[in-house]
Structure 1
Amino acid sequence: MRTRNPDFLFIFSTLLTTATSLVIYDSPLAEACTSFTRTLDWGCSDNAGHMNVNIWSCQCASIEWLGTVTNCIKKYGNSTHEITHGYEHIMKRCKAKANLTYTLSDMLAFKKNATYYIEPYSEEDTTNVLQHPVSIPTTNFIYYYRSYFDFAEAIRLSQRLGWGSVGYWLGVVGIAAIWHWLEIFYKLPPSYQKFITRYLLLPHDKLLSMNTWEWIVCFFFCIEVLLSCIINYDTPLGAYLATQYYKMIDLVSFRTDLIGFSVMPVVYLMGTRNNPFVLFGGYKRSQMIKYHKIVAWVLFTMAIIHSCIWTRYPIVEGGGYSTWVQDSYFQWGIVGSVCLGVLLLQAFKLFRDIMYQVFLVLHQLLAILFIVAMWLHCNTLGWMGWVYSLVAIMALDRVCRVMRILQNGLVNEAQVECHNKTVLKLTFHKPKFFIFFTGCHVYLHFLNPWYTCYQSHPFSVVKSINYDGKLEIYIRVKKGMTKRIACTNGTTKVLIDGPYGTISRHQSDESDSKFDKIIGIGGGAGITSILAIMNQIPEGTKSRYYVLWLTNCQSDIECLAGPLAGLAKKKNAFIEVYDTSKEEDESQVTNEKSAFSSDSNSRHGISEKECSLINFHRQGRPDLSKHIQSITKESSKVKIYTCGSSKFVRSVDVIAEGLMDTGKFVEYHNENGEW
């Protein structure tokens, strides 16, 4: 089996960029020293300014203050690393708050200079403007240090809990990967497969089309986040957390925003095409998008709690909301929260169904704007590593897309065949390095007209009837792009981004050989995914293959005449097509010749004899349950593939459940990529 290497880039990039997340309050030593100096008079204005900006601007420019702080750090630091880290903390704070740039050499010079002029602390230093550095008493330092040490520990706990949320999803993917790779390299006992399929993998009706396993995963993730948000707020009061009220809002705020920050890369990673979770865990993209939405809602909840806290506090006790909102970081925090809300609202299926193109463009733009907002919100606060990881994920996903397009020869020419302006058939030569596998799909960028090239849409890929080095894609004509292409004559230029998908044992010839019947059930345009799988029937197989297609569009039938006839010629393959556009008496069955027009036959190069191999029915929608039961009556092992609308697939889910309940071993595969 071949893998697609670009996906591996995400693992290293994400791990590396999140390594420097904790910046602010990471040095209790430096914070203890600076906080005590706030009780002294350095000749600064009484107006501290929001977030003490005025104080920092004044103190960072004072040689006496710098000497006091650097001496304190040197005096009470327990190691060279801790002392150096304390100096670096002061350097960062002066740069961020006062826009003054100092180097480590400067810090050492301030310390050395202070030794010549430093004096012991006295009570008068709180009221008289200091003209010399001050030696901070041990008792006072310990009080402040303990306060900031306890606070830093609370922050580190929040960070670890955030990493726990990331670890949860790594665990989920790990479990899925074990199952996925065991399926490929080791034949699991049928009893295990039957149990997992029946009770974990079949979707539930009216439950967001999620199966039991997906519900378990999402439920326990929400529980994990909830527990992470409510445990361990026993940090003692001190110099920083002076009141119980401020302690609680500050710690809850940090807890929720750090958990939210931690899952940001998970949200973005799940939404990308080049997703390592898909590669290693064997997940389908539609499953990843379900998880993507759930984790995004959790992220939004964390952001709202954080935002509500820092909206109420300025109004009630923080000096006024108008003061806080003047700060750039505060404004960008608002922008980020609004972006998340709009992203979630416009991702509802109703909006996507009405304006899918608008959804795609808006979703991408808002995702980028959210990164910008978080960057500008946190560049003075810390935890930028999480923001860097978002940039890396989005950038590398685009790089991988470009690499795939280049690998496929950049610009490809596709032959366009339109049937009654309702169905399009695109045929193109298989690129030299294109790795075709059963069930794969590609994203096409259409270059005619050129300004639509930023759009890309996923389509299942089918080998041509004789596999003469060509691949085919069938597209339902709707609004926008497909409608414009339907008016194209001859050829169109496309960029091919792919292939995507997962390779598993169930797609192999060896897997099919253990089943008596392999049934593919397609609804409407979903038949293309079924054909892509069924076209791989091996020579000499003893298994019987059945394709059942329900469609209400005659153009679909004519368009797929070639692939259907080619499949019907294969030994042990049985094709049934049901035209559900008219509800007629069940006894009325048209002659097979009327299923396809002579013009259609000549275009596809198929004979009337080949058409006659397809059982064509026009009595309306059949009773699929009874029909499949009759097909599988004498079979003990059955494999079922299905693809179509969500409602159609759910009806097949119920049929598969019924077969399992009769004691048959059923391997069931839902190829529907709808989310």
Structure 2
Amino acid sequence: MNFLIISFLWLSTLSSVYAREWKTSKYYNTGKGEFYTCNQIRTKAGLKFDYTFKPSADKPYAKIYNVVCEYPPAIGTMLKCMTKYADMENLSYETMFNAYVSVCDIYSTESQSLEFYKAQYENSTQFNIPIKSVNTSLPIYAPVNLNTEASYQKILGYQKFYWNLDSGTWFSAGICLYFLLVIIIGSIHNFCRKSGIIKTINKSFISKKIQSYITLPTLIPNGKYADDYTLKLPFTNITVFTILFPNRMQFLVDVGLFVLQVAFLSIPYGQNVGTLFSTSKIAWTRGVADRSGIMSFGKIPLLILFAGRNNFLMWITGWSYTTFLHYHKIVSMWMASDALIHSVAYTILELKNYREALKEQYFAAGVALTVVCFVMCGFAVREIRRRWYNWFLLGHIAMGIAFMVLAWYHCKDLGWCEWLFAAWVIWFTDRLVRVIRMTLFGWKRADVSIIHKQGDEQVFKVKVTKPKFWESKPGQFGYLYFGGLTFWKNNPFTIIQQGDNLIIYIKVKDGVTESIYKKLLKAGGSCEWRVCIEGPYGTKSSPHKFESQLLIAGGVGASGIIDTASKIGSETKSSQKLVWVIRDRNMFDAYGEIMQNIKIPTDVYITRAQEPCTGSSDSSSSSKKESSSFTSEYSNIFTFHYGRPDLDELLNENIKFLGSSVAIVGCGPPVMMDMVRNSVARGVNHWGKSVEFFDELQVW
């Protein structure tokens, strides 16, 4: 919530300082089209007013506009013309006067007050010269009554052109309102979860159908959500492409955005209305270019908001960071698509004068902006993120900064900069809060030790004393930084709080964790290391609101679930069950420090050959002692099974003996979590109980 307050204050400050010059302007029915049309009629008529121009370097267009913004006869001529069009279009004269002030403020060095222009109009109604009586070879000292009928089609062209300009802003706001609606729905669902109301709702037939077919299942029946879809070269094991699919609920939100995008870009452009452009094709191309460009800018605050770690919407909706990153990717894709349409359309318009156009700062910045945009998207593919996450992140941030700078130079003289101000505020506030979090935690000495190194699943543990004010709830996570040359690299891990200590279990993968693991091996399996934790992030889940809890964990993902199990077991009197699927017995022994806090029935499924119950030489001696002591003391709590469980059968059997409302909480390998998700989606229809699924796995 602090993030929301800080963002609002920054946005208010920036808007008040900068938006006066670069703000989004309303064009349709504002009188600006009438101003420009009348100025063109005046110019074509060859009227020569007795006026001396004063050059200005700050406003290059002052040469054109100073005469009509300062010299009374020219002002009277213009306003007399504009009010004629106002009568034709049922617009107020006040609109014309305000348009006059607005245009002169922007382009002229000699802008006058609203009252001055009104007085000049009143004068023009009493003293004016018919255009037919004007000798254009002589200076003019009185207002001229211009012929407006022949140029009315140009007014209509301006109106449609300005409507298209404004529509880009309206449609951008529509996209924001769409996501606001989605967030409100998510917030209501989160409130129902937190308050326990969801227990009653999920008993209904309609709710079960919604769970079974919309909110729970993977996009493709029995497909993947947490796990990758992978494309490999035929007859090889070489991966060409990997992608994460949304779940069905996220996909429906994506479809809604797709429908809005297509609808907004398909609404008629009125290219055949009026004669502002030489051909209807040019009018249509310009309309497409303007609308798509503004809609692209309108998505920038959304995509930055959804990518931020300190996103207050996570607290409001209860959604995972995975969900927000999915929407970040989808909004980014549409932003890039809009930018591409905008760029192609303007390239077509400027094709004959492309070299000259590139000399204009806004045009060159726009070309570079489009290139940077697509380079960012290209390097954000799943395979690159998975293999080189920290390098991807560093490059993504660097290109993001370049993107925002180029966006500024592209639009600073055109308008629509509020979208950039909002994006800058969100981005800066997120970074500021992250720095504050890290500063408050500090760089502390931590005990880092290997606890499991058998097979292809190596795990080490980080144990550090927390600051007094620092509190973590079950299910929350933090970004862990290791001191050294790669101090800037960080990865998210589940945090377990035990007294004054924070414990993190880390599975070794490519990158910084592999480097740490190799150094631990050289140091004999353990050492001290300075670490910093940025967090905690995520919201506390609320399975305790249900009569029963079924906790399902797999592999290293068990740490958060075990923490949840220990807290639930001590805080509630409801019935609970913990199921933990691991590869070997040594993994169970390695978690002895936190497993001894478990007070609820626990089924442990060991998928590989049985290991000696006394522990393994791969674990530390302290881990062996802890493991053997708590295993014997709580042998009535733990039941060991050998082999891979049938998750459908496991869920059906356990749900049968639990209470009337059941919270299923899961975290484990992606393949396993997809199986659990699909099993729950199939089961809610026939279990006859109120069931809610809490997916604790974070994947990006």
With the shorter chain as reference, the TM-score category is 0.7 to 0.9
Report the AA paired with residue 63 of structure 2. Answer: Q
Change (3 A) 1:102 1:277: farther
Instruction: Tell me the residue number matched to 2:197.
Output: 187
Deviation at 1:532, TM superposition (A): 2.8
Gaps of 5+ in 2: 49-56, 84-91, 226-243, 521-525
Question: 484-493 or 171-180, which moves further after superposition?
Answer: 484-493
CA distance, structure 2, for counterparts of residue 126 and residue 350 of structure 1: 75
Deviation at 1:135, TM superposition (A): 3.9
Instruction: Tell me the residue number matched to 1:635.
Output: 658
Secondary structure of the residue that 2:620 maps to in structure 1? helix
Change (3 A) 1:432 1:540: closer
CA distance, structure 1, for counterparts of residue 388 and residue 618 of structure 2: 38
Deviation at 1:195, TM superposition (A): 4.0
1:59 aligns with 2:77: no
CA distance, structure 2, for counterparts of residue 377 and residue 492 of structure 1: 47
CA distance, structure 2, for counterparts of residue 478 and residue 233 of structure 1: 53
CA distance, structure 1, for counterparts of residue 623 and residue 345 of structure 2: 68
Report the AA paired with residue 496 of structure 2. Answer: V
Deviation at 1:533, TM superposition (A): 1.7
* TM-score, scaled to structure 1: 0.82
Which residue of 498, 501, 506 corresponds with 1:470?
A: 501
Asked if 2 retains the 8 angstrom alpha-carbon contact of 1:268 and 1:390, the reply is yes
Change (3 A) 1:540 1:460: closer
Deviation at 1:361, TM superposition (A): 0.9
Larger relative CO (CA 8 A, sep 6+): 1 or 2?
2
1:437 aligns with 2:460: no
CA distance, structure 1, for counterparts of residue 217 and residue 112 of structure 2: 60
Instruction: Tell me the residue number matched to 1:346.
Output: 379
1:363 aligns with 2:376: no
Secondary structure of the residue that 1:274 maps to in structure 2? coil
Asked if 1 retains the 8 angstrom alpha-carbon contact of 2:451 and 2:618, the reply is no
Report the AA paired with residue 448 of structure 2. Answer: V
Deviations 1:465-514 (A, max 9, x none): xxx321111112233322343326633333332221123433x3xx14x1
Instruction: Tell me the residue number matched to 2:24.
Output: 22
1:410 aligns with 2:407: no
Change (3 A) 1:266 1:128: farther
Instruction: Tell me the residue number matched to 1:425.
Output: 461
Asked if 1 retains the 8 angstrom alpha-carbon contact of 2:553 and 2:580, the reply is yes
Instruction: Tell me the residue number matched to 1:155.
Output: 165
Deviation at 1:440, TM superposition (A): 1.0
Change (3 A) 1:144 1:313: closer
Instruction: Tell me the residue number matched to 1:394.
Output: 427
Asked if 1 retains the 8 angstrom alpha-carbon contact of 2:476 and 2:494, the reply is yes
CA distance, structure 1, for counterparts of residue 557 and residue 367 of structure 2: 43
Secondary structure of the residue that 1:158 maps to in structure 2? helix
Deviation at 1:379, TM superposition (A): 0.9
1:459 aligns with 2:487: no
Instruction: Tell me the residue number matched to 2:286.
Output: 250
CA distance, structure 2, for counterparts of residue 411 and residue 129 of structure 1: 82
CA distance, structure 1, for counterparts of residue 135 and residue 305 of structure 2: 53
Question: 338-347 or 143-152, which moves further after superposition?
Answer: 143-152
CA distance, structure 2, for counterparts of residue 375 and residue 218 of structure 1: 29
Deviations 1:448-480 (A, max 9, x none): 21x53433322111123xxx3211111122333
Deviations 1:408-456 (A, max 9, x none): 443333222234673221112232222322211112333x21x534333
Which residue of 100, 106, 110 corresponds with 1:92?
A: 106
Question: 215-224 or 242-251, which moves further after superposition?
Answer: 242-251
Asked if 1 retains the 8 angstrom alpha-carbon contact of 2:586 and 2:611, the reply is no
CA distance, structure 1, for counterparts of residue 434 and residue 516 of structure 2: 23
Asked if 2 retains the 8 angstrom alpha-carbon contact of 1:314 and 1:324, the reply is yes
Change (3 A) 1:600 1:410: closer
Instruction: Tell me the residue number matched to 1:494.
Output: 531
Change (3 A) 1:634 1:290: same
Secondary structure of the residue that 1:234 maps to in structure 2? coil
Deviation at 1:84, TM superposition (A): 4.9
Question: 228-237 or 647-656, which moves further after superposition?
Answer: 228-237
Secondary structure of the residue that 1:592 maps to in structure 2? coil
Report the AA paired with residue 281 of structure 2. Answer: Y
Secondary structure of the residue that 1:291 maps to in structure 2? helix
Change (3 A) 1:607 1:307: closer
Which residue of 647, 652, 667 corresponds with 2:676?
A: 652
CA distance, structure 2, for counterparts of residue 655 and residue 415 of structure 1: 40
Change (3 A) 1:605 1:256: same
Question: 372-381 or 66-75, which moves further after superposition?
Answer: 66-75
CA distance, structure 2, for counterparts of residue 360 and residue 170 of structure 1: 28
Change (3 A) 1:611 1:630: same
CA distance, structure 2, for counterparts of residue 38 and residue 553 of structure 1: 87
Report the AA paired with residue 434 of structure 1. Answer: W
Secondary structure of the residue that 1:529 maps to in structure 2? helix
Instruction: Tell me the residue number matched to 1:97.
Output: none
Which residue of 24, 32, 36 corresponds with 1:31?
A: 36
Instruction: Tell me the residue number matched to 1:200.
Output: 214
Deviation at 1:334, TM superposition (A): 1.4
Deviation at 1:401, TM superposition (A): 1.6
Change (3 A) 1:121 1:498: farther
Deviation at 1:377, TM superposition (A): 0.6
Deviation at 1:295, TM superposition (A): 1.4
Deviation at 1:212, TM superposition (A): 2.4
Change (3 A) 1:64 1:244: closer
Instruction: Tell me the residue number matched to 1:48.
Output: none
* TM-score, scaled to structure 2: 0.79
CA distance, structure 1, for counterparts of residue 618 and residue 360 of structure 2: 73
Asked if 2 retains the 8 angstrom alpha-carbon contact of 1:70 and 1:107, the reply is no
Change (3 A) 1:435 1:60: farther
Deviation at 1:164, TM superposition (A): 0.9
Asked if 1 retains the 8 angstrom alpha-carbon contact of 2:26 and 2:166, the reply is no
RMSD between aligned residues: 3.8
Instruction: Tell me the residue number matched to 1:47.
Output: none
Change (3 A) 1:440 1:233: same
Which residue of 5, 9, 27 corresponds with 2:6?
A: 9
Change (3 A) 1:622 1:213: closer
Asked if 2 retains the 8 angstrom alpha-carbon contact of 1:590 and 1:618, the reply is no
Deviation at 1:59, TM superposition (A): 2.6
* Number of aligned positions between the proteins: 629
Report the AA paired with residue 5 of structure 1. Answer: N
Deviation at 1:620, TM superposition (A): 4.8
Secondary structure of the residue that 2:673 maps to in structure 1? helix
Change (3 A) 1:126 1:306: farther
CA distance, structure 2, for counterparts of residue 644 and residue 127 of structure 1: 85
1:171 aligns with 2:160: no
Report the AA paired with residue 240 of structure 1. Answer: L
Asked if 2 retains the 8 angstrom alpha-carbon contact of 1:416 and 1:427, the reply is yes
Deviations 1:130-158 (A, max 9, x none): 78797462626866555434432332233
Asked if 1 retains the 8 angstrom alpha-carbon contact of 2:35 and 2:78, the reply is yes
Secondary structure of the residue that 2:191 maps to in structure 1? helix
Report the AA paired with residue 457 of structure 1. Answer: N
Asked if 2 retains the 8 angstrom alpha-carbon contact of 1:639 and 1:668, the reply is yes
CA distance, structure 1, for counterparts of residue 341 and residue 69 of structure 2: 37
Report the AA paired with residue 511 of structure 2. Answer: G
Secondary structure of the residue that 2:579 maps to in structure 1? strand
Deviation at 1:247, TM superposition (A): 1.8
1:270 aligns with 2:301: no
Asked if 2 retains the 8 angstrom alpha-carbon contact of 1:154 and 1:235, the reply is no
Instruction: Tell me the residue number matched to 1:562.
Output: 593
Deviation at 1:18, TM superposition (A): 7.6
Gaps of 5+ in 1: 44-52, 95-100
Deviation at 1:338, TM superposition (A): 1.6
Deviation at 1:63, TM superposition (A): 4.6
